[in-house]
Amino acid sequence: MTVIAIDGPSGVGKSSVSREVARRSGYGYLDTGAMYRAVVWLCLNRGTADPGDVVELVRGADLEISTDPDVAEVTIDGIDVTTEIREPEVSANAQIVSAVPEARTELIELQRQIIAAAAPGIVVEGRDITTVVAPEAEVRILMTADESVRIARRSKELHGSADAAAVQATRSQIVDRDAKDAQTTSFLTAADGVHTLDTTDIDFEQSVAAVMGLVEKAEHD
C-alpha cells in the first residue's frame, strides 16, 4: 500500500491537488482538516469549548468521513455536516479542538486507522501529516506558496474574485489561522526527508504533475 502525506498552510491548494492525485492514482483521499472541523462543529452545537468536554466529545463521537476523492461527505453522530463545517464560524474556532493535545491524539489515532484500512493507497492531507500522522509514508510533501498568492487563491475560492475588497476580506482569515495553527503544528518548514513543493509560480496542473512525479518515483524505487 502507498501512503502520500501532504502538509501545508491555508490556501496553498493542497486539498484540490490531493483530490486530483488520488483520482489519477486510483487511491483514497483523506481530508484530516474536515475531521477537526466536524468536532469543532459538534462543540459549537453543544455550546462548549472546555478542553475536558472537547476530549469527551471526541471520544464519544461517531465520526465518519468519505475517502472517495469524488465524494466529500462528513457525518458526526449521524448528522451530515459536510456543508456546515465550511462555515466561517467553524474556521474561526478551529483552536477549540486543535489546541487540545488529548483531542488531537484521539483524532490522529482515528486517522491512522483510516489510513491502515485503505487499499491500494491513500492521499492524506492536512497539518503534521508528514511528521506525526504518517511519518513512514512513502511520499511526504510540504506544499508552500507565498502568502499573497495563498490569500488570492482562497479569495477566489470563497468570493469568486481576487479584487482588493475580496482579498482584504480573506487576508485576516489566512494570516490569523496560520498564526494560531503555528502554535500547535509545524507546517511551514519541511522535516528531514520531506519534499518541498513551492506552488507560488505554478498552476494547478503543474502542481498535480509534480506530486504525481514523486508518487511514480516512489512506486518504482
Q: What cell numbers appear for 148 in the block?
A: 499573497
pLDDT tens digits, 129-150: 999 999 999 999 999 998 888 8
Q: pLDDT confidence of 9, banded at 50, 70, 90?
A: confident
Q: List the alpha helices (DSSP H) in 48-163.
A: 51-60, 88-92, 95-98, 101-117, 147-159
Kindly state the average pLDDT of the residues 119-135.
95
Domain boundaries, the chain: 2-212
Kindly state the average pLDDT of the residues 30-38.
97
Compute the distance between CA of residue 51 and CA of residue 5 in angstroms, rounded to an integer. Answer: 28
Known binding residues are 8-16
Where is 220: in which H helix or E strand? helix 204-220
Share of the chain above pLDDT 90, in %: 70
Give CATH for domain 2-212.
Answer: 3.40.50.300
pLDDT at 57: 97
Tell me how far CA of residue 25 lies from CA of 102, 160, 219, in angstroms. Answer: 34, 29, 11
Kindly state the average pLDDT of the residues 157-166.
68
pLDDT at 166: 60
Kindly state the average pLDDT of the residues 10-30.
94
How many C-beta atoms surround the C-beta of residue 127 within 10 A? Answer: 24
Q: What cell numbers appear for 59 in the block?
A: 471520544
Residue with more model confidence, 1 or 189? 1
pLDDT at 167: 59
Known binding residues for ATP are 8-16
pLDDT at 43: 97
Q: What cell numbers appear for 217 in the block?
A: 518515483
Residue with more model confidence, 219 or 70? 70
pLDDT tens digits, 104-117: 999 999 999 999 99
128 pLDDT higher than 80:
yes
Compute the distance between CA of residue 91 and CA of residue 41 in angstroms, rounded to an integer. Answer: 9
Which residue bears the cell 468536554?
53
